[in-house]
Amino acid sequence: GDFYQHAATEASQATLASVSPVFAVMKLDKEGNTTYFEKKKTELYQELGLQARDLRFQHLMSIATRNNRIIMRMEFLKAVITPEFLLILDYRNLNLEHWLFNELASQLAGEGQLVTYSLPFEFRAIEAILQYRISKLQGRLNTLQPQILETLEALVDPKLLSVDRSKLHILLQNGKSLSELETDLKVFKETILEILDEEELIEELCLSKWTDPQVFEESTSGIDHAEEMELLLENYYRQAEDLANEARELRVLIDDSESIIFINLDSHRNVMMRLNLQLTMGTFSLSLFGLIGVAFGMNLESSLEEDPRIFWLVTGIMFLGSGLIWRRLLSFLGRHLEPPLPPHVPAVLKKSQPAATRAEIKNNLKVETFGLSRSTLTNQ
């Protein structure tokens, strides 16, 4: 029985190893040297001292530590950081080739613009990956911003009587992309904030502090690696917060522009309704005095049809009466549609008001007016 159970276990392990996925791995060391190889998932996590669940990368954005290893996932980028080298898994991606082959090696070797070049290797690796992610988010925002502003400028033109549906479709697509960008920025900030809220997690990210005694002695003599790691994460958290603020301003601008578009459409709709009402009034006036012509058009005999001046007299009365009635209706319409006048401020109150108070009220009014019309002026 024991022999049969042992044989079945070996057979299941062999079957699992044969169907396990194969990672295309890119390995970079401290000097920036790069090697490429393929390795099965079971062999890779055994060599790294990890568990199988550690290399599943279930979340699109995650930073975790396990057995003195840092496991990072930044959307398409999957990385494992050790104190000696950096592993990029499944690197064969078109979105990563330029960064992997042209920038990452020099950054890890300390030749780039990273501020952590004098710190241990894991600092440079973490900063390079975070910088790559922030640059991608910044690029997406830089692509969306001019497109959204150009579309909004075309839509909020007050001279337009209708809205171009193609522009609305473009705005809808850009708004969807902006929502996805806001979600990615939110996930990025939450992931970093979870680490910043826990001092133990920050300590675990400092791998060399626990593996290299010399590094630990340097940290106790004045260089606090945990504090440096916290500053590093806070820096990229602030950058993500700035990008989120810019995306939020674009979202507010879209909402304000939608209000302006509706106001313009309502204004044109009101003009058309007023014109329709005026034409209806004119038709009513003509119809009212047109009854005189109808009366003379009946086959009734009277002495009036024999006089040649009656035609011009009746016609003049009809047009004159219609015009007077139409004018009267238009004046009635104008009185009821005009906005009310602002209340009159007595001159006594103006003279008795101190100069400082008037200046303060004037400044407050300027601030309120600027706050209410800022988006409208920007769009126009």
For 259-272, how does the pLDDT look when each residue is reduced to its tens digit (9 = 90+)?
Answer: 777 777 777 677 77
Whether 102 has a pLDDT exceeding 70, the answer reads yes
Q: 254, 175 in Cβ contact below 8 A?
A: yes
What is the 3-state secondary structure of 345-360? CCHHHHHHCCHHHHHH
Cβ atoms of residues 62 and 80 within 8 Å: no
Residue 66: pLDDT over 70: yes
Domain spans of the chain, in order of start:
22-265
Q: Tokens 């005189």 correspond to what residue? A: 292
Segment 187-190 long-range contacts (CB within 8 Å, at least 24 positions apart): 187/60, 187/61, 188/61, 188/133, 188/137, 188/240, 189/237, 189/240, 189/241, 189/244
Backbone angles phi, psi at 57, to 5 degrees: 50, 60
Percentage helix, strand, coil, to 5, in the chain?
Answer: 70, 10, 20
Architecture of domain 22-265: Up-down Bundle (1.20)
pLDDT band at 13 (very low <50, low <70, confident <90, very high): very low
- Does 54 have pLDDT greater than 70? yes
- pLDDT one-digit tens code per residue, 287-320: 777 777 676 676 656 666 677 777 778 778 878 8
Give 95 or 276, the one with higher predicted confidence: 276
Contact 210, 151 (CB under 8 A): no
Q: Which of 301 and 175 is assigned the larger pLDDT? A: 175
Query: What is the band of 373 on the pLDDT scale with cuts at 50, 70, 90?
Result: very low
Burial class (CB in 10 A: 0-12, 13-18, 19+), 345: exposed
Classified as helix, coil or strand, 85 is strand
Q: Is the pLDDT of residue 92 over 60?
A: yes
pLDDT at residue 141 greater than cutoff 90: yes
Segment 205-251, tens digit of pLDDT = 888 876 766 665 555 555 678 888 899 999 999 999 999 999 999 99
pLDDT the model gives residue 298 = 67
pLDDT surpassing 60 at residue 81: yes
Most confident segment among 261-275, 313-327, 337-351, 362-376: 313-327
Q: How many CA atoms lie within 13 A of 50 on its CB side?
A: 22
Which positions ≥6 away from 155 have C-beta within 8 Å? 163, 164, 167, 168, 171, 257, 261
- Average pLDDT, stretch 280-284? 79
Interval 181-195: pLDDT, tens: 999 999 999 999 999
pTM: 0.65
Rounded to a whole number of angstroms, the distance between the first and last alpha carbons of the chain is: 85
Place of tokens 């330029």: 98
CA quadruple 54, 46, 82, 199: dihedral sign: positive
Q: How confident is the model at residue 366 (pLDDT cuts 50, 70, 90)?
A: very low
Query: What pLDDT does residue 343 have?
Result: 52
**From the CB of residue 322, how many other CB atoms can be counted at a distance below 10 Å?**
19
Q: What are phi and psi of 42, to 5 degrees?
A: -65, -40
Give the amino acid at 326.
W
Measure Cα distances from 349 to 323, 345, 359, 365 in Å: 48, 7, 15, 18
Q: Where residue 178 falls among pLDDT bands split at 50, 70, 90?
A: very high
Nearest to residue 247, comparing CAs of 153, 168, 154, 184?
184
- Mean pLDDT (whole number) for 57-73: 87
Q: How many residues does the chain have?
A: 380
- DSSP letters of 125-146? HHHHHHHHHHHHHHHHHHHHHH
